[in-house]
Amino acid sequence: MALSCVSATMGSSTRLLRSVLGASHCHRAAVPFCTAVTSGRVKVNGVSLHYQRTGWGDHVVLLLPGALGSSQTDFGPQLKYMNKELFTVIGWDPRGYGFSIPPARDYPTDFYERDAKDAVDLMQALNFKKFSLLGWSDGGITALIAAGSYPSLIHKLIVWGANAYVAEEDLELYNAVKDITKWSPKMREPMEKLYGEEYFAKTFAAWVEAMGNFRRKSDGNICRHLLPLIDCPTLIVHGLKDALVPLFHPHSLHKQMKNSRLHLMPEGKHNLHLKYAEEFNRLVEDFLWSTELSQ
C-alpha cells in the first residue's frame, strides 16, 4: 500500500467536514479522504483474501470479477472513475484467483456458493453491514447467489455477462475457448503474466470442466432456483455483441427476477465495462444512486 489514508464509511457529518475543508486528494494530509486505491487482506473462512478499496461514500459497493479474474485486472476503470464521494468501492479476488493465492483454485460442485459466502463474509469482516453487488460474468453468478442467499445484506444488484444455467449452446462456446494456446495474445498475455502459463492453463481447463459438470449433473442449473428469492432492485446489463454469453441468458434472468430491469448495449461485447467504461459507470451510478432516493 503506497499511501496510507483512512476511508472508513462516513456519514453526513464527515461529508460536511469535507465540504468545509474542500479537499478530495491525498496531498491534504490532514484530511481523511483519499482518491487512491488501497489494498489489503482479510482472513475469511480460513483463506487470506485480497481486496482493493477506494472512495468514502455511504453507499458501499462490492465488485466481483469473472472466472480467473481479479479486482485489478477486471475493474481498473471502475476503481479509478466511480464517484468516490457517493460510493465506497471494494474489489475482491476470490480464493485461488489474483492475489488470493494460496490456496490454488479448485472447483468443487458448490464453488459458486463458496465464493458467495466468502464475498459476503469478507464484507462483514470489513464491517460493511449492507452493500450493493456489481458482478461480471462468473462474478455475476456469485452475486446472484449472494443476493438470493443473504437477501437482508444486499442493497442493490447489477450483473452483466452472467448466466444462471448452462445450456448446450454454452458448452460449445466453452469448448471453443478451452485451449488457451488458441487465444489471441491480447487476451492471453495478461492472464499468463498474472498466473504463469501453467497455473493459468490448468485452472482454466478445470473451470471449463466444472461448467460441463453443471450440464451433466444438474441439468445445467447453477442458480436458477434462487432467482425468485432475489428481491433487491436489480439491473441486468448485456452487450448485444457478447460472443461468450448468448442473449437468452439476460432475458431469462430478467423474466425470473421480479424487481429487475434489463439494459442492452448495442455495441457492447463481454467486456463492455472496460471498453465502454464511461457509459457503463454512468449507468451503474444512476441505478445505484437515483432510485435510492425513493426507498
Chain residues that interact with ligand TYC, rule: CB under 6 A:
66-67, 137-138, 173-174, 177, 244-245
Q: CA-CA distance, 247 to 102, in Å (whole number)? A: 36
Measured at the alpha carbon of residue 165, what is the angle toward residues 224 and 60, in degrees to the nearest 5? 65
Residue (131 or 160) nearer to ligand TYC, CB: 160
Q: How far is the CB of 230 from ligand TYC (least distance, A)?
A: 19
Residue (177 or 229) nearer to ligand TYC, CB: 177
Q: How far is the CB of 66 from ligand TYC (least distance, A)?
A: 3
The catalytic residue positions are 137, 242, 270
Q: How far is the CB of 135 from ligand TYC (least distance, A)?
A: 9
Q: How far is the CB of 136 from ligand TYC (least distance, A)?
A: 7
Q: How far is the CB of 35 from ligand TYC (least distance, A)?
A: 28
Residue (110 or 286) nearer to ligand TYC, CB: 110
Q: CA-CA distance, 143 to 70, in Å (whole number)? A: 15
- The residue number with the shortest CB distance to ligand TYC is 66
Residue (55 or 140) nearer to ligand TYC, CB: 140
